[in-house]
Amino acid sequence: MRYLFVTWDGGGNLHCVLPLAERLVGRGHEVEFLGNRSQRGAIEERGCSFAAFQRAPENVSSSASEALLDDWKPRSLLATNALYRDKLLVAPAPLFAADTLAAIERYRPDAVAVDYFLFGALAAAERSGLPSVALWHTVYAPPEVDVPAFASGQGLPRGLPSRLAGRAMRGLSAAWWKRTLPSLNATRAGLGLPPLGRVFEQYDRLDRVLVMSSAAFDFAALTGAAMPANVRYVGPQTSPGESDGPQPSVKDDPPLVLVSFSTTYQAQEELLRRTVDALAELPVRALVTTGPAISLDGALPANVETGPWVSHAEVLPRASLVLTHGGHGTAMASLAHGVPLVCMPMGRDQPCVAARVTHSGAGLRLSKKPSQREISGAIRTALATPSLRENAERLQGLIASEISTDHGVEELQALAERWDPFDRQAIDT
């Protein structure tokens, strides 16, 4: 089978999707990615082919000067939402649609899988008549699902006031999305598709929405919230060789603390330096990964090592704690190895992930700009609280079971194999 994956350089989104594509290739299928030029190297290393967008906007998420979305700059939630609307979600939707249809015409795939953020590409996949999948690479919290609104970072309600506040926030979120509907429907009209009654109805028009998170971690699955029939939790994705179960844990002494902030630029230099200074005061050894976005200038404490990248599969079995911005991929990797977290969310989906970490009892959450003293105190508390590791190890077992099923690959194979080009209704939704 031939699969077309449509992505964009959003940082962690590609790292969630690549293992899924790599496992398809391992089963003898062909996978081509359509995306930003900055993604070519990582994609081709996994045995997939690559084609660059010709019309859709370019993005280099690790560069402050070349990033499409400079959402780290101080702005209100409404202004941030407008930034995403104008530069990624809505305004360029016709460009993503045109590029996706051109790639389908050239590559002739048997199925199309699209990053859930790319509404234009999702509409193009629907228009193609091929089996179509949205790859949901973070927690699942659309406005229609009875969980805290995506942008809120709230935990599950514990009483009537918090339930009412949650409903109000979901209502505001739905109202904001509704304002984008005319533009999205204009894109659909240009493709000859009928209009949507609500923005997230776009996902209902697809064969599958694959949520690449753990059902043991995410609120929507934990609470049994009503979800569309085409939504499937397929668990965190791992590369071949990493999915046979967690490696034996041999914890370092003194404790090893992994610091893993975003691979994308989020103006995290000051927070990273404060974190290093906090670690210098503690009886731990720390490994700090900076990613391609920034460099850590100046002398480092004797107990701190640094580098741009490290394999999670190699270091997490030895780690006692992970300090992170709360990116979904880092959280899933840590919990898949039974390692508790201290989350310092900076934006995007990170507050939502942090809320689920704390709800699970597998970690702590700090503010966006914690002091050095607060960071130091959180590290001490996390290392001295056995229940955090116990809860992380509980999730480790559940996530290992999800990973072993390889459910994401099975879903994609089943859709492509059941598709009859002469009978669209042959796909079992």
Crossing angle for the helix pair 160-179 and 181-190, nearest 10 degrees? Answer: 40
Distance, CA of 336 to chain centre: 15
- Measure Cα distances from 129 to 15, 56, 196, 377 in Å: 28, 22, 17, 55
Average pLDDT, the chain: 91
Does 247 or 405 have the greater pLDDT score?
405
CA within 13 Å, CB half, 202: 29
For 273, residues 6+ apart whose C-beta sits below 8 A from its C-beta are 296, 298
Query: What integer pLDDT is reported at residue 256 of this predicted model?
Result: 96
Distance separating alpha carbons of residues 344 and 312, to the nearest angstrom: 19
The pLDDT tens digits for 394-406 are 999 999 999 999 9
- The backbone torsions φ and ψ at residue 218, rounded to the nearest 5 degrees and listed phi first, read -90, 140
Angle at CA 5, nearest 5°, toward 144 and 352?
35
Residue 424 has pLDDT above 50, yes or no: no
Q: Which residues of 367-401 are buried (b: 16+ CB within 10 A; e: fewer)?
A: eeebebeebbebbeebbeeeebbebbbbbbebbbe
Does 311 or 5 have the greater pLDDT score?
5
Q: Per the omega criterion (within 30 degrees of 0), is the bond before 317 cis?
A: no
Residue 427 has pLDDT above 70, yes or no: no
Distance separating alpha carbons of residues 311 and 283, to the nearest angstrom: 24
Query: What integer pLDDT is reported at residue 429 of this predicted model?
Result: 38
Which of 66-70, 74-78, 239-243 shows the lowest per-residue confidence on average (mean pLDDT)?
239-243
Same fold, 2-241+406-426 and 256-401: yes
The pLDDT tens digits for 141-173 are 998 899 998 878 889 988 888 888 888 888 888
* The architecture CATH gives domain 2-241+406-426: 3-Layer(aba) Sandwich (3.40)
Superfamily of domain 256-401: Glycogen Phosphorylase B; (3.40.50.2000)
- Rg over alpha carbons for the chain, rounded to the nearest Å, is 21
Task: Tell me the pLDDT band of 420, cut-offs 50, 70 and 90.
Answer: low
For 43-90, the DSSP string reads HHHTT-EEEE-SSSPP--TT-TTT-S--TTSS--HHHHHHHHIIIIIS
- Residue 424: DSSP 8-state: G
Distance separating alpha carbons of residues 286 and 278, to the nearest angstrom: 11
Domain boundaries, the chain: 2-241+406-426, 256-401
Please name the amino acid found at residue 354: A
357 membership: H or E segment, kind and range = helix 350-360
